[in-house]
Amino acid sequence: MKVFNILILSVLILLTNAKAQLKIVTTYPYIASITQEIVKDKAKVDFLAVGNLDPHFVVPKPSLAVKLRNADLLIINGAQLEIGWLPPLLDQANNAKIRPSASGFLDLSQYVRLIEKPENVSRTMGDVHPEGNPHFHLDPYNIPILSDAITTKLCKLEPENCSYYQENNKLFKSKWNEKLKQWNSALEKLKGTKVIEYHKLYDYFINRYGLVLSGAIEPLPGIPPTGKHLENLIEIIKIQNVKLIMQDVYHPLKPAQFLNQKTGIKYIVIPHDVGAVPEAKDIFSLFDEIVRRLTND
Amino acid sequence: MKKYLITALLPIFTATASELDELKKQIQQQQEIIQQLQEKLKQLQEQQEVIQQTQEKLKNVDGRDPIEKVLSNPFSQAKFVPDISLILDTSFVSRNLTDDTYRQVQIPGFNHGLFHMHDGHGHMPYNAERGFNLNYAEMYVASTVDPYFDLVGVFHLSENDFEIEEAYFKTRSLPYNLAVKGGKFYSEFGRLNKFHHHVWDFADAPLIYRAVFGEHNLLEKGAQITWLAPTPFFLMLGAEALQGDNENNFNRTGFTVNTKRDGSGDDIKISDTKKPNLYVLFIKPSFDIGNTSILTGVSYAFGKTRINHLEDENPHAFAGDTKILGFEFTAKHLLDSYRYLQLQGEYIYRKTDGSKFAYNNAGKLVIVPLEKKQGGFYVQGIYKFDQRWRVGLRYDLINKNDVIAKGKNQNLPDNLYRYSAMIDFLPSEFSRIRLQYNYDKSLFLGSERKTNHEIILQFNLAIGAHGAHGF
């Protein structure tokens, strides 16, 4: 009986300890990094998808359901980027707190202006996102908007720590604005450069810095390139004088290498998330690295 | 004096002249602006006229006042339409066994052939005939009911049949990581059992599944509770109480058997089983080692058995109980975003105990104690070597087939095996074309083993909104 009492007591202590710190799970590492800047040591932040794999195709392994099981807050990218893998995990996690529409759920896509929202959708368009392009975090001007949204949510959940979070957010944003100046002046010289990307991943970045998108290696979102499509791209590269292929880390490099051989076009592997390359350790170094790679002649 | 006046006025005059120039300029500019504005106005007027004309026209066509044709649809619920999808599975089959032979062959000691029916009801096996097969068109409807429940309906439509394959609710907001499911659904027993045919890695079920559960796996009415334990690794525990419809193992309806085959003797009544009749328990741990995810599990199903084949040509029946034990192991190793290696295997063991009712040559009822201890496994490896291509190999073996009647082993074949190989091409996430070859040594006609070579070309396509699949 005594042993039993001790057991119950220790379980209770474990439970109360578990309650002490807010547990935040984000779908992608970049969201975890921004969140970490705001909560510092006041909450535990974890993420589900690794940064060096395709964000659309995350394997819903049971170990991810374990992370969701105890979470108090789930922050997702949204705009259907997680549609192929998060729903079965939420279903498995049996955690009512973080279901969409529950108080412990935040969809960041609701706070930014999405581009490329198609007026009509059909599966003949490939893996198209009906709500618009979901890769909005690669416009650095969107990051403070996201950090504001996260801070507001945190204040709702923990009013007692609100001023702390707001203070951290203010610091984060001022540091970010300093960085923006650096990045803006470094990227000035790329204005008007014609580029090709593998997937429509960098469109927000391209728009922000005045690059010109001339095509994509994928003929349709989610569909790998055919020989014919690459032939067309060679024509486009030659006629439009396209200067650069923005290659992501998770798609095969072969098509970019092929185009490079045929036309001499340069290709640069650009990280898209924290952890995509070893240098991208957090949200700051992610953009530092993007800018470094693009401007490193 | 005059001269003075002139000299005095001169600066004023010149000043006025320069101001005049300035004014002229300004007037000119303003005139230009006025002109521009007039042009704009004209354009706008013209546009307005066009709009008015169009409105006029519309009014004439419609014959109603604009006030009456306000586009209002206040009771539309279009935004609440659930996810609806249709999944088609159609195949072309080439098989060395004739359709006639294929209809008669059996897996000895397990069931009465792949086409066995009860009261005209039963399941045709997938890819039943040589040539073209329409395996099914499956309708899937799912949505959130309210903050508390999700609802899923899966309607299995074959050419002439409608079947509610699954229809269940699942809770969304229970505390302590609990969830309850109720309705008709695939049991969580084992690994493959809960998955629908369209996500299987091969065009057909493993041999041991076909032999033990029949063509549609363990699909039952009942309730399920699952709990995700607060362990640092994944640990799911669950229990199910099910009605016990699976006619291979648990059929719950009793029967009346006469002591004489011609019905002239006394009736012996075997009652229905208790209902619910089938209980399933399962425990499934999972953990990661680097890029490899491992899922294992043990499942246990037990219930009473009532098998009524009294209307058959060779009438017989069985009453007793059945226990089924299942072990599963899955390892998935990610090579990158699009390529993986997956190894999956299951061992299933069944023990049935009871009395068999049959007639001897004199037409007299004989009741003998019957015990079955049967087991087998499958192991399969899948290699996704490209974003759109996968290959797979599967080995099936039933290596325990002890059927003991009256204490005497019937010495049924216990080396029932099959090799399968498949390659599938995925043009997109919504379509799959698969070519599969089976070398099947599990089928018998009487006591004669019938080797079955089978080639299946399968097309599986989905339209509409269909939820993502789990691990």
Looking at per-residue pLDDT, the higher value among B10 and B156 belongs to B156
pLDDT value, residue A126: 79
Which pTM does this prediction carry? 0.85
Between A283-295 and A29-39, two packed helices, what is the crossing angle to 10 degrees?
130
**Cα of A172 to nearest chain B Cα, Å:** 32
Q: How far is CA A23 from CA A163, A190, B405, in A?
A: 19, 41, 60
Nearest CA in chain A to B470: A88
How many Cα atoms sit within 13 Å of A100 on the Cβ side? 16
Of the candidates A53, A61, A93, the beta carbon closest to that of B337 is on: A53
d(CA A138, CA A140): 6
Check whether B6 has a pLDDT greater than 80.
no
**Which of the residue ranges A113-122, B72-81, B239-248 would you say has the lowest mean pLDDT?**
B72-81
How big is chain B, counted in residues?
A: 471
Contact B153, B142 (CB under 8 A): yes
Rounding to the nearest 10 degrees, give the CA dihedral for residues A82, A88, A91, A97. -20
pLDDT of residue A130: 87
Do residue A65 and residue B178 have CB atoms under 8 angstroms apart? no
B214 or A172, greater pLDDT: A172
B442 and B398 in contact (C-beta within 8 Å)?
Answer: yes
Specify the range with the lowest mean pLDDT, choosing from A200-214, B7-21, B218-232, B381-395: B7-21
Look at A123 and B463 and tell me if their CB atoms are within 8 Å.
Answer: yes
pLDDT band at residue B75 under the 50/70/90 scheme: confident
| B175 and chain A in contact, CB less than 8 A | yes
B9: pLDDT strictly greater than 60: no
Q: What secondary structure does DSSP assign to B174-208, as a single string?
A: -STTEEEEEEEEE---SSSTTS-GGG-SSSS--HH
| Summary count for chain B: helices (H), strands (E) | 3, 21
Tell me how far apart the terminal alpha carbons of chain A are, to the nearest angstrom: 73
Please name the member of A94, A223, A250 whose beta carbon is closest to the beta carbon of B174: A94
State residue B5's pLDDT score. Answer: 56
Question: Over 60: is that where the pLDDT of B369 sits?
Answer: yes
B163, with CB counted inside 10 A (0-12, 13-18, 19+), is middle
The string of pLDDT tens digits covering residues A138-182 is 999 999 999 999 999 999 999 999 999 999 999 999 999 999 999
Is B340's pLDDT higher than 90?
yes
Q: Considering chain B, what percentage of its residues have pLDDT values greater than 90?
A: 71
Which position has the higher pLDDT, B43 or B231?
A: B231
Q: Calculate ∠ Cα B13-B14-B19, nearest 5°.
A: 95
Give the mean pLDDT of chain B: 90
Residues B470, A93: C-beta atoms closer than 8 Å: no
The one-digit pLDDT tens for each residue of chain A (297 residues) are 555 565 555 555 555 544 569 999 999 999 999 999 999 999 999 999 999 999 999 999 999 999 999 999 999 999 999 999 999 999 999 999 999 989 999 999 999 999 999 888 888 887 888 899 999 999 999 999 999 999 999 999 999 999 999 999 999 999 999 999 999 999 999 999 999 999 999 999 999 999 999 999 999 988 899 999 999 999 999 999 999 999 999 999 999 999 999 999 999 999 999 999 999 999 999 999 999 999 986
- For chain B, how far is it from start to end, CA to CA, in angstroms? 112
Using alpha carbons, list the distances in angstroms from residue B209 to B186, B189, B375, B454: 13, 11, 10, 18
Residues from A in contact with B at Cβ < 8 Å: 53-54, 57, 59-63, 65-66, 69-70, 83-89, 91-96, 99, 101-102, 123, 126-127, 222-224, 250-251
pLDDT of residue B301: 97
B228 touches chain A (CB under 8 A): yes
Please check whether residue B172 touches A, CB under 8 A: yes
B180 CB within 8 Å of a chain A CB = no
CA B241 to chain centre: 22
Residue located via tokens 């104690």: B369
Pairing of strands A105-107, B408-409: unpaired
- Rounded to the nearest angstrom, the minimum Cα separation between B288 and chain A is 7
pLDDT tops 80 at residue B169: yes
For residue B52, the surrounding DSSP H or E stretch is helix B2-62
Pairing assessment for the beta strands A22-26 and B149-157 based on DSSP bridges: unpaired
Q: Which residue has the tokens 């510092």?
A: A40
Q: Does B146 touch chain A (CB under 8 A)?
A: no
Residue that the structure tokens 């120039």 belong to = B21
Q: Answer whether A267's CB lies under 8 Å from A202's CB.
A: no
How far B279 CA lies from chain A's nearest CA (Å)?
A: 22
pLDDT single digits (tens) B106-128: 999 987 777 766 555 556 889 99
User: Which of A64, A66, A76 to substitute to test the interface with B, most B CBs within 10 Å?
Assistant: A66
Contacts of B306 (CB under 8 A, 6+ apart): B251, B252, B253, B254, B255, B270, B272, B273, B317, B318, B319
* Range of weakest confidence among A214-223, B55-64, B231-240, B360-369: B55-64
Report residue B241 as tokens: 């109480």
The 8-class DSSP code of residue B322 comes to E
- Closest-CA distance of chain A to residue B52, Å: 28
Whether B169 contacts chain A with CB within 8 A: no
Asked if B93 contacts B82 with a C-beta cutoff of 8 angstroms, the reply is no
Tell me: pLDDT of B72 over 80: no
Q: How many CB atoms lie within 10 A of CB A146?
A: 23
Task: Say if CB B225 and CB B239 are below 8 A apart.
Answer: yes
Taking an 8 Å cut-off on Cβ atoms, the answer to whether B233 and A85 are in contact is no
Q: Are B392 and B340 in contact (CB under 8 A)?
A: no
List of chain B residues whose C-beta atoms are within 8 Å of the C-beta of residue A93: 177, 228
